[in-house]
Amino acid sequence: MPLSPTDDIVGPAFRAGVGVGAFNVLQLEHAEAIVSGAEDARRPVILQISENTVRYHGALPPIGLATLAVARAARVPVAVHLDHAQSTDLVHEAVRLGFTSVMFDASTLPYEKNLAATRDVTAHCRARNVWVEAELGEVGGKDGAHAPGVRTDPAEARDFVAATGVDALAVAVGSSHAMTTRDAVVDFALIAELRDTVGVPLVLHGSSGVADAGLAGAVGAGMTKVNVSTHLNKEFTRAARAHLDSHPATVDPRTYLGPARDAVAAQVAHLLRVLHGGLG
């Protein structure tokens, strides 16, 4: 199955009222696990690489090209997305490498500067058939717009989307990045109002902190793209630690990275089913 445009995955899901899983890649094992889980669930999936992960690897091409190769070898549609990019140079590099979408994050700027910068990035990407996600307010866990009580204003979101031309919008509705518990309370009524007002697919960041029922409810209310990272990292670390605890003499990383990869694949398959209406 060839690498798929992000809109070919998100667009049909948006129109059908189902969710799409977007999972963060930290290293090659993550990319392999995510695709394996998607193949098991027989669902399309989005592989995401964040600007933080690019810094960890020292450059985008090593992890980016490896992820693109995994996507191209998949048996289900797979898109590759740049997540939370604040650098326009990094956005341009991702587009040159063949990423199918980018999330440009100018949310720390004042509204007018965020709007102008996002509009410029959208024009650059649109000319190259690359889908663009943006953020209004700070969807942070790092507090920001995902701090308790902070929410996206529907009218402001509508105007931002119209002025920038973005294809999707990350919104603050109660979740928070980097949560290790799954007890975030999501505002379903606000999601429904945003979907009716904004007119483009909505993106839930910080979804690791939302339980299965909350994810299903968010999708039912109108959320489309659902980003998950920390929850998968917890599973990866748990499985690797369990193997190391029971095999203290091991020295071959493959012996504990393999079970960790399998644990992530199982969670991806489960979450993709939840997002597609498979709760219960």
CATH number of the domain to which 81 belongs:
3.20.20.70
CA separation for the pair 268, 155 (Å, rounded): 34
Q: What confidence score (pLDDT) does residue 144 get?
A: 46
Residue 1 lies in a domain: no
Residue 211 lies in a domain: yes
Residue 83 lies in a domain: yes
Assess whether pLDDT exceeds 70 at residue 148.
Answer: no
| CB-count burial class (<10 Å; 0-12, 13-18, 19+) for 136 | buried
Assess whether pLDDT exceeds 80 at residue 159.
Answer: yes
Residue 280 lies in a domain: no
State the average pLDDT for the chain.
90
CA separation for the pair 98, 103 (Å, rounded): 14
Residue 125 lies in a domain: yes
| Long-range pairs, 188-194, Cβ under 8 A, ≥24 | 188/217, 188/218, 188/220, 188/221, 189/221, 190/151, 190/152, 190/154, 191/218, 191/221, 191/222, 191/223, 192/221, 192/222, 193/154, 194/152, 194/154, 194/157, 194/222
Choose the weakest-confidence range: 88-102, 179-193, 218-232: 179-193
Q: What confidence score (pLDDT) does residue 146 get?
A: 44
Structure tokens at 198: 């904004």
Residue 189 lies in a domain: yes
Q: Does 273 or 176 have the greater pLDDT score?
A: 273
Residue 134 lies in a domain: yes
Q: Does 215 or 144 have the greater pLDDT score?
A: 215
List pLDDT tens digits, range 11-59: 999 999 999 999 999 999 999 999 999 999 999 999 999 999 999 999 9
pLDDT-based confidence at residue 185 (cuts at 50, 70, 90): low
Among this protein's residues, is 83 annotated catalytic?
yes
Q: What confidence score (pLDDT) does residue 145 get?
A: 45
Residue 235 is part of which domain span? 6-275
Please give the model's pTM, rounded to 2 decimal places: 0.92
Q: Residue 24: which of 243, 225, 255 has the closest Cα?
A: 225
Q: What confidence score (pLDDT) does residue 111 get?
A: 87
List 7, 8, 83, 120, catalytic entry: 83
Position 16, amino acid: A
Count structural domains, the chain.
1
Helix residue ranges, H only, 165-199: 188-198
CA separation for the pair 61, 152 (Å, rounded): 34
Residue 68 lies in a domain: yes
Query: How far is CA 208 from its chain centroid?
Result: 11
- Average pLDDT score over residue span 72-95: 97
Q: Does 137 or 178 have the greater pLDDT score?
A: 137
**CA angle in degrees (0–180, nearest 5) for 266-271-275:** 155
